[in-house]
Amino acid sequence: MRARPSRMGDPLHNELALVPWWTTFVLTSAYLFGSCIGSFLNVVIYRLPAGKSVVHPGSACPSCEQPIAWYDNLPVVSWFVLLGKCRHCKAPFSFRYAAIELAVGLFAAGLVYRYGLGPFALSHFVAASIMIAIAGIDHDSFLIDTRMTLALAVTGLLSQVAKAYEAGDSLWQGPLWALCAGIGAFGLLWLIGYVASSVVGEEAMGGGDAPLFAAIVILLGPASIPLVLLLTGIQGMLIWALLRHRGGVGDHDVEHEDGWAPSERHVPMGLFLVLAALEMQLGGDALTDAYLDFVARLI
């Protein structure tokens, strides 16, 4: 197969970047599409752990159970228009709904700006959406849905295929290396969790964290392993220390079927794995360069 010139990393691809108004239109469209997906992710985060359908019925106020009209369900905008309250009963809506919609919209625009329009950018957006849902559920329930982790791994493999296709490389070599790296990443994080649990005398890591890390490495590739671990550890420790300084992480109103319940010392590791992965998706090259420069200075 004859290699094609690589188009990876061109902002909106060269032909789009030549037309400023078209670039603005594409980025705005990406934001609007992403914010709508963010609205759907809010539904997934709330309903999936409860075993409810994410499709039916439509959105309703959790307090008065009145259906939310379409014009009250516009991503980001409706939250501010209604001042974060239900139109009917005036019960408050969490700002997290609008924050997720805004974040997913901006992330979609960022991916399109960095990678252009194509299967690689699309696969990374699908993966990011899955990861954001995983993080939201893990934050609320300290659970990582195995089905979503599997979906992320499959999306990661498809992303590796798309990357190879757009770069004109072999369609199987890159995905195979990513899969092997994912298996290795699973073993590495499982070993870290086992050692940490032995040291502290209690479960130090949830059973879903290692598979999630493996799926993230499949998505981002073998070179992401040290940086994802580093970013996860640093950001997790900083947030944990900040919450402890402000009076403790807080009580978690969560109890799993096996009787386990998180204490005030626990923070969901999946949340920080996802945060690190999202940072790598948008700024992986800059973060890698900074990391390598730091290591070089130490040596």
Residues 70-107 have pLDDT tens digits of: 899 999 999 999 999 999 899 999 999 999 999 999 99
Q: In the chain, where do the E strands start and end?
A: none
Q: Tell me which range, 174-178, 194-198, 261-265, is most confidently predicted by mean pLDDT.
A: 174-178
End-to-end CA separation in angstroms for the chain: 42
Tell me whether residue 8 is exposed, middle or buried, using C-beta atoms within 10 angstroms of its C-beta: 0 to 12, 13 to 18, 19 or more: middle
Which residues constitute the domain of residue 221? 168-250+264-299
Q: Tell me which range, 3-17, 51-65, 105-119, is most confidently predicted by mean pLDDT.
A: 105-119
103 part of a folded domain: no
218 part of a folded domain: yes
Looking up tokens 């899955």 gives: 130
25 part of a folded domain: no
Q: Total domain count for the chain?
A: 1
- Tell me: pLDDT of 223 over 70: yes
69 part of a folded domain: no
286 part of a folded domain: yes
198 part of a folded domain: yes
117 part of a folded domain: no
